[in-house]
Structure 1
Amino acid sequence: MVTTVAVVVGDLVTDVVAVSGQPLVAGSDIPAAVAVRGGGSGANTAAWLAASGVPTAFVGVVGADGAGADRVAELTDLGVRAVVRRAEGAATGSVVVVSHGGERTMLSDRGANLLLSPADVDAGLASGARHLHLSGYVLLAPPAREAGRYALAAARRHGLTTSVDLAAAAIMRRVGPAEILSCVEGVDLILANRQEAAVLVGEAAPAELAARLAASAGRAVVKCGAAGAVWARARGEVIEAAAQPVSVVDATGAGDAFTAGLLAAWLSGGSPAEALRAGTSLGAAAIGLIGGRPTAGDATRS
């Protein structure tokens, strides 16, 4: 039996992705390529980790419906150990994603994801992993937020390293920076895009944003899309990496893939510069696909 290296705690949803060459027109319609895919930031990261050869378990909640069964089966096909509870009376979460010109607009129904509990986390930690990664979506609303806090605390008690990938700047503003910062204080690695980082620590250049975030954790990474990414360590180094040039098909899940590539390199002992390069490489691969996941044929796991 392969020992689990990483446990990802987060969201699992159905993505309805509409990729259009034209911007939205209010009150009218535009042509688009529409696809239904498995999604959810946490589940996407787990899928890319498994495709990168990292034995990975995913912890989450879906509804006791056909969509939930399909989403779990997709993760399993990609080599992820799915520790996913099927909640009676709840619907599997779903997101409508409109993708145009490398930008996405999302309409989200989190559904059963909001029911994540400490017991779900304990079931995932029983796999014996050495790292816990938490999707920031878990921290945006109770009762899942309490389960997210529990996951980070339990991981530390078990001697696991921890990381959090922040999410949804607009919702983070409503929750408030103090609440979010209290949740992530003391984690080993915080990841955020520029907008998310600015919600917590104020507007600044990416290197300064990363340095400010690192004051709440051991390390911080700020993802800047086509402008690359920055790694900072508390009271220490700041390293920048350029993005890899790529033709954009759909940006859905690119940040999740970046996170997986970075974590895969870091957990295998790679340097910050190597981790950033691995992140930008996998993020570039995701941008060339419709949807936020690799296909089963993309997996490099052994």
Structure 2
Amino acid sequence: MNKRVLVVGDVMTDVIVKPEGPIVFGSDRRAAIESRAGGSGANQAVWLGAAGADVVFAARVGMVDKASHEGHFRLRGVTPMLAGDPQLGSGVLVTLLDPSGERSFLTDRGANLNLCADDLPDSLLEGAGLVLVSGYSFFAPGPRAAVQSLLGRARKRNIPIAIDPASIGFLEEVGPQTFLNWVGRADWLFANESEAEMLAGVASFDEQMRVLGAQFKHVLIKRGRFGAAVGGAHGVDFSRPAPIVNVVDSTGAGDAFAAGFIAALTEGLPVENCLERGIANGARAVQFVGGQPQ
């Protein structure tokens, strides 16, 4: 396969809030607050760049931020193909961290909502060996139509497609079958445990693989501190544990996993080694604050 990876997804500014204790409604609570670059697609692209992959990232940002975002990606080994929106600013995500490292999100997707077909031309597919799409791109009509058009063109060129559902909250809103219909057939699915259970409609781990394998050639299920597994319509092929590490912030761990797996895949490594690389990347990601490698 060609080694270039085309990533399509959101660019966000992550505002990370870690309160010293429970939120006091109607009053104050001291907190550590940081602002970092984020967005599921952006995180995946930067982690791929950190892994040495040849990666192109397509997205839409506020026009006033376009140059700074482009600089950010180039410095991290990513070729940015960003459209500038003259009306909406770049997206913002507020992440609330609890003491265990678990996260809750408040999202303003901003310019990401205006991603359109003109932002995803045929030229992006030249030399691409895989197209990775963040599920967030399917949850609004304009970006969804743009991405579906791109994926249709990728299928005609026999370019493998990978999908990351990205948000259990949005999956609940639209319904799992609707999302699966939007996505269509693809080669790789990167889902966490909650997403896999919702999309498959069954609780059994092995059965989730079998159900989702009817639509996706390869199914990856991310299991957090229990590691991850890969399989398909026949069930689980490989399962690997995660190393025990100090969890500081789980933001971007799934993006890091997908990037590590895909980077290894472009190197021609066996699937079980790709799985190990993805798990190692995910374990690295949870040991610091933010969704992109430091």
Shorter-chain TM band: over 0.9
Distance in 2 separating the partners of 1:50 and 1:261: 10
RMSD across aligned positions (CA): 1.8
5 Å matches for 1:114-263? 114-122=113-121, 125-235=124-234, 237-263=236-262
TM-score (normalizing by structure 2): 0.93
Matches of 2:121 and 2:74, distance apart in 1: 20
Match of 1:57 in 2: 56
Alpha carbons 1:83, 1:123 under 8 Å: kept: no
Report the Cα offset of residue 243 of structure 1.
1.3
User: What do residues 206-238 of structure 1 show as CA deviations (whole Å, max 9, x unaligned)?
Assistant: 333233212111011111111211211223553
Cα displacement (A) at 1:21: 5.4
In 2: Cα distance, 1:207 partner to 1:236 partner? 5
- SS of equivalent to 1:94: strand
Opposite residue 251 of structure 2, the aligned amino acid is T
Inter-partner Cα distance in structure 1 for 2:24 and 2:78:
39
Any unmatched runs of 5+ in structure 1? 296-302
Counting only pairs closer than 5 Å after superposition, residues 253-292 of structure 1 correspond to structure 2 as 253-292=252-291
Structure 1 match to 2:80: 82
Please report how far the alpha carbon of residue 246 of structure 1 lies from its aligned counterpart in structure 2 after TM superposition.
Answer: 0.9
Tell me, yes or no, if the aligned pair for 1:4 and 1:57 is still in contact at 8 Å. Answer: no
Aligned-pair CA distance for 1:154: 1.4
What code does the residue aligned with 1:223 have? K
User: For residue 155 of structure 1, what is the amino acid of its counterpart?
Assistant: A
The answer to whether residue 70 in structure 2 is matched with residue 72 in structure 1 is yes
Unaligned runs of 5+ in 2: none
Conserved in 2, the CA contact under 8 Å of 1:4 and 1:127? no
Secondary structure (helix, strand or coil) at the match of 1:143 reads helix
Structure 1 CA distance for aligned equivalents of residues 216 and 114 of structure 2: 27
Which amino acid counterpart does residue 256 of structure 1 have in structure 2?
Answer: D
Deviation at 1:41, TM superposition (A): 0.2
TM-score in terms of structure 1 length: 0.91
Contact 1:18 1:35 in 2 (8 A): yes
Identical columns (%): 37
